[in-house]
Structure 1
Amino acid sequence: MYTSKSSHEDTKYIVFENCLLELFETCPVCSRACDIQPRSNGTFVAIDQRCPHCEYFRQWKSQPCVGSTPVGNLQLSASLYFTGASFFQIKKVFESMHLKMFKHRTFRRHASMYLEPLIIHKWKKEQEDLVKNLCEADKVIIGGKMRADSPGHSAKYGSYTTMDLQNNLIIDIQLVQSKEVGGSYHMEKEGLKRSLEWLEACGVRLDCIVTNRHPQIQKFLKERNVTQYYDVWHLEKGLSKKLEQIARDKDCSIVKKWQHSIRNHLYWTAASSTSRKEKIAKWKSLINHIQDIHIHDDPSYPKCEHPHRVSKDSSKWFKPGTKALYKVEKLLTNKRVLKDVAKLSAHYQISSLEAFHSIILRFARKSVVFPFLGMLCRLYLAGMHFNENSNRPKAKTSSGKPMYRLLFPKAKQRLYITKPLTTNPTYCYVYNLMTLLFEKVLPDPLPYMEELHKITVPDSLCTPH
């Protein structure tokens, strides 16, 4: 038995025009030929059927309308926006099939009147729930990182994201335009400043924040007395590049053999230490270790923890007084590196924020320029998608065994790593947005527009000062 559905949940089909018009060729009263007048509006088509013989008339519509808005047109705009699809790419698909579609200005009208107010409203509601849980916690550890909408120091937008590292959830996204702060270099500091002010206004008690090593961020957090730790990968990445440069020297070829071990030692130093002194002591012990010396002068770490072994191959160790040892020691124990090692985060990193930045690319590609509100809404959609799927369970076989896949990252240089598979992502936020759109926003969009109008939109870059 067929059960009626709401218009946006109804199943849709592709219908050919000739097949459709066949249904209206003859009069249902006198069975003679009728006059047919089709008219379309995007995906919507209406057909007027009039019989010149018996004056029979009827009008048929392919989809319901709310006021003058065809539901199918609005739902297509919503589906494009909510899933991060490109209007122009979908338009090319439609044109290649000779499928009717509305123009871009119609899509933008739907976005500004209904879709963007709804996205902002939904994100703010989810934010309220997240912050409520954070306010109840004694200590909150967050991670922060900025993403620019283009590479280099010529970006138009910078989005600063703060994440609850204990629960792996995005809690705030601040969008900064370069013109607001006098250049793209200053966007990261401004984004962090806005996020911290917002968290403070909400009553969240911060324990610490994990970030990269941006100099402006270090100074700003120090002035605000906020405890800061560094993500290990950002330091390891910088050191690895400099070690590669040293290894290119023919007198320093031994460095290449130790690069992987030095990287591992940095992560172990951060994860196994409980104080700054211990971190520095363990890190500096590396210089002795690579010379086959495993007893150290620093009481914070007097000797290596590995079992003592007598080496039969002396060529694998660094020799005192060599160029290779001098360059490696100078790099690994300079004042800046030791200062950064002391501030490495032991348990929480911001790798999940890097994963979130890759999700943003699905909704806001760097090759496309968006208006301020359009960019902000796409960031919010990416946040909804991430929060819904960040803690989804691991995939298992029918017998209950965990499933893994092999990856061959470039950084591993032809070596592979194994990674546990997760279950397929869900898109409940899309269905929830669609339901809200047709049940709440479309009948009365004004309350949602009020929330949108509270957002301050900066002037465009071409506006004179």
Structure 2
Amino acid sequence: MPTYCIVPGCNEKSRKGRTVSFHAFPVKDSARCKLWIRAIKHPNIGEDAGIEMLKIKTVCSLHFKQEDFKGYLAGMKWTRPTLLETAVPSVFAVAPLEEDEQAGPSHAPTAAKRIRLQNPIASAAGILGSGGQLQDKSTSQDTLSSIVDTGALTLTASSIPLKTGTLHLTSTPVKSLSDQGQPTSCPDTPGTLDSSFSTIGEADESYKPDTTVTPTSTSSSSSEDESTKDWKEKKIIVNESCLMSLFKFCQICGNPVSSKSVFDCGAQRKVKWTCLVGHSGTWSSSPDVRGVAEVNLLSAAAVLFKGGTYTELSDWCKTMQVQMISETTFYEMQKAYLHPAIEDLYQKQRKDILARVYLEQLDGKTLHLAGDGRCDTPGFSAKYCHYTFMLDDTKEILHTELLQSTEAGSSVAMEPLGFKRGMRELQGEGLDIEVLTTDRSSSIRKIMREEFPDVQHEFDIWHTAKGFRKKIQTKGRKKGNEFLGAWSRSIINHMWYACASSKGDTEKVKRTWQSVLHHVCNVHEWKDEDGQTHQCEHAPLTAQELRTRKWMKKDSLVFENLSLLVNDKRLTKDLEQMALFKHTGSLEVFHSALLKYLPKRQGFSFQGMRERGHLAIMEHNENIVKREQATTNTGEPRSNQVYCKRSKQWVLKKIFNPHTYQFIDTLVLSVLDRRRNRNILYKVPTSSLALPQPALPPNIAPVAKPPKDDAVAAFKSRF
């Protein structure tokens, strides 16, 4: 059964071979449905019409503009056009029927009340003379425009062979048309586009780009398009030959294109074309944001916000022969738009965490922090150091300090200085720190003892256990101490147990730790110097365990060496500051993840180090709290077995859900907003973040750089 259009005066119905589509009323959107009813003005359909009646009514595609559709032709295969969610019928070349007339299939077509070509291709060809020139511009031009406006002509350029008087249309969307058949004026002046920018709209006088033009009868224009489209729209890599094949024929009349111009603006291409008849238009592969190609901003943002570098992007693009922004443009965008966006979001999130912690303190909750430093390179040649403070309960990063070695005088002095600055900053913001956990650094101990005596200083058991394991392994390599290596894992586990079971009791943690000297000798119950009886807290050992375990003898060399390690005075004293069972393992995990944004093989400026560190913190804080263990389709927790080379055993590790990156969406929107802000200018220092004052030297050399000519003259090669 054919489908009919209910617009008064329209006799369209579904027929084989016709390209007209029919669209049902948007009954699920009552407001838009009323707009359709008002536009159609059917005498028998009012705004109070029932849904059941409207469900069976349709409107043909001739009553919609081309921009109302999502669907286009894909090569030679027809695809059904789909209306946008905001589309409303607006093309009516027929006056509404009188009230006594009835619309529908039962009525024969009346006299022509509009110009509508049943065979648009043949009819359009009829108004063209030889060479594709319009014969009667007074009527034929209007007729041809009506065909294009109603969407009747939607054939691809390759679907019809080129002949005199035949239309050849492309599926490339029309960017702009000239009503008088003259070339559309280009708002750009040749020489104002470089690999990333075009000067459209209000000019940014601070930016003077270089021109990258391909002059073959190929050059481009640019049109200002402060696009409201979602920046997350899918992007597709296209071969240049495939793209330019769409500009062989006019987008309006189908005649061959006589000239076209191409401008390559970074990752954006713009094409201006003119056909034999005189129609012209401009096409752009990406919208502009106040004269800057959106795709160029997004490319720079995507690289930085995901922890990449321009070198990686450039190498990939060169391998793939993909057009991309230059290195200079990338870093200028980074200074003007990317870094300020990162800083703003980081400071906002940090203030939110500080406000929450402050309110928790008002409710009586104590504040426990963990702190640790991380240098950009190992050894004594580090240039930068991040000192980070983490909340002990939620594992969120609360504060970080970045230092350059020239501020501290040496690489090893950066961590204590960063710690001191961070503590003063947090206390200056009104936080009352009760417990702080760090490693056993002697310089940090001194600062805590002299400048922050009211804060309880705890030592990290993770670092302590790691150092003790190395001492055991070193002793175990000596002759006669082979048993010591076999006991290494058990002794380290016992250290963790002693701290975890003490519950803040400093005497208990020392007593439990030293009990390992009885256990290794197969003595599980003993008396101390005061005559009190103690015993191991493990379950009774089986006969097989007693038989297979390599027990020590108290008069042996291996036991003597172990006693020296266990009873070390400094370790025994430090155990008192490990009774609360605090460790910085989560901070070490964060420092490992920091390598994604700050690889140690790559050098960065001070501002680059700072903002990349903030990116790592935002990713960590977003995922550390809510990230859960992944589950199977049946709801069972997922895990994986991994072989540990150190213990030579298979261990079970949890599999967590992938990281989320919601903060990146916020950053990208902030970058686009900054570009739209006419007060923020490209390459103007006031648009970038302020550097630390006094200004830090660009390198850490203790002497000034000599003139290059002197260095060349003094250079001598060994070869």
Specify the TM-score bucket, using the shorter chain as the normaliser.
Answer: over 0.9
Distance 2:613 2:398 in 1: 12
Look up the equivalent residue of 2:536 and give its one-letter code: C
Contact 1:113-1:445 at 8 Å conserved across structures: no
Contact 1:114-1:442 at 8 Å conserved across structures: no
Residues 252 and 347 (structure 1), Cα distance of their counterparts in 2 relative to 1, 3 Å cut:
closer
TM-score between the two structures when normalised by the length of structure 1: 0.93
Distance 2:272 2:265 in 1: 14
- Picking from 530, 534, 546, the partner of 1:302 is 534
CA-CA distance at 1:400 after TM superposition: 2.2
- Picking from 689, 694, 698, the partner of 1:460 is 698
Distance 2:279 2:675 in 1: 38
SS of residue matched to 1:228: strand
> Structure 2 unaligned runs (5+)?
1-82, 87-227, 705-719
Aligned counterpart, 1:209: 436
Distance 1:151 1:102 in 2: 34
Distance 2:542 2:641 in 1: 36
SS of residue matched to 1:383: helix
Residues 298 and 221 (structure 1), Cα distance of their counterparts in 2 relative to 1, 3 Å cut:
farther
CA-CA distance at 1:429 after TM superposition: 0.9
SS of residue matched to 2:487: helix
SS of residue matched to 1:302: strand
- Picking from 239, 261, 272, the partner of 1:37 is 261
Aligned counterpart, 1:115: 338
Indicate whether 1:437 and 2:671 are aligned: yes
CA RMSD of aligned residues (A): 2.4
SS of residue matched to 1:19: helix
Indicate whether 1:158 and 2:385 are aligned: yes
Indicate whether 1:329 and 2:556 are aligned: no
Look up the equivalent residue of 1:284 and give its one-letter code: Q
Residue by residue over 1:407-464, the C-alpha shift from the partner in whole angstroms, topping out at 9 and shown as x without a partner, is: 223332x212112222121111111111222235542565996793274452222575
Residue by residue over 1:330-388, the C-alpha shift from the partner in whole angstroms, topping out at 9 and shown as x without a partner, is: 11211111122221153432111111111111111000000000111110000011111
Indicate whether 1:67 and 2:298 are aligned: no
Contact 1:280-1:342 at 8 Å conserved across structures: yes
Distance 1:218 1:462 in 2: 28
Aligned counterpart, 2:280: 57
Structure richer in helix, relative to its length: 1
Residues 406 and 314 (structure 1), Cα distance of their counterparts in 2 relative to 1, 3 Å cut:
closer
Look up the equivalent residue of 1:302 and give its one-letter code: H
CA-CA distance at 1:308 after TM superposition: 5.4
Contact 1:74-1:110 at 8 Å conserved across structures: yes
SS of residue matched to 1:355: helix
Distance 1:283 1:190 in 2: 34
Look up the equivalent residue of 1:31 and give its one-letter code: N
Residues 74 and 161 (structure 1), Cα distance of their counterparts in 2 relative to 1, 3 Å cut:
same
- Picking from 388, 401, 418, the partner of 1:191 is 418
Indicate whether 1:147 and 2:382 are aligned: no
- Return the structure number with greater relative CO, CA threshold 8 A, min gap 6: 1
Aligned counterpart, 1:240: 469
Distance 1:387 1:60 in 2: 43
Q: Structure 1 stretch 364-373 or stretch 453-462: which is displaced more?
A: 453-462
Indicate whether 1:230 and 2:230 are aligned: no
CA-CA distance at 1:317 after TM superposition: 2.3
Residues 122 and 296 (structure 1), Cα distance of their counterparts in 2 relative to 1, 3 Å cut:
farther
SS of residue matched to 2:571: helix
Distance 1:15 1:310 in 2: 71
Q: Structure 1 stretch 453-462 or stretch 234-243: which is displaced more?
A: 453-462
Distance 1:201 1:248 in 2: 50
Aligned counterpart, 2:112: none
Residues 31 and 349 (structure 1), Cα distance of their counterparts in 2 relative to 1, 3 Å cut:
same
Indicate whether 1:419 and 2:653 are aligned: yes
Aligned counterpart, 2:500: 271
Percent identity, aligned pairs only, is 27
Look up the equivalent residue of 1:368 and give its one-letter code: Q
Q: Structure 1 stretch 287-296 or stretch 441-450: which is displaced more?
A: 441-450
Q: Structure 1 stretch 230-239 or stretch 367-376: which is displaced more?
A: 230-239
Larger radius of gyration: 2
Distance 2:290 2:548 in 1: 85
Distance 1:434 1:56 in 2: 38
Distance 1:170 1:301 in 2: 46
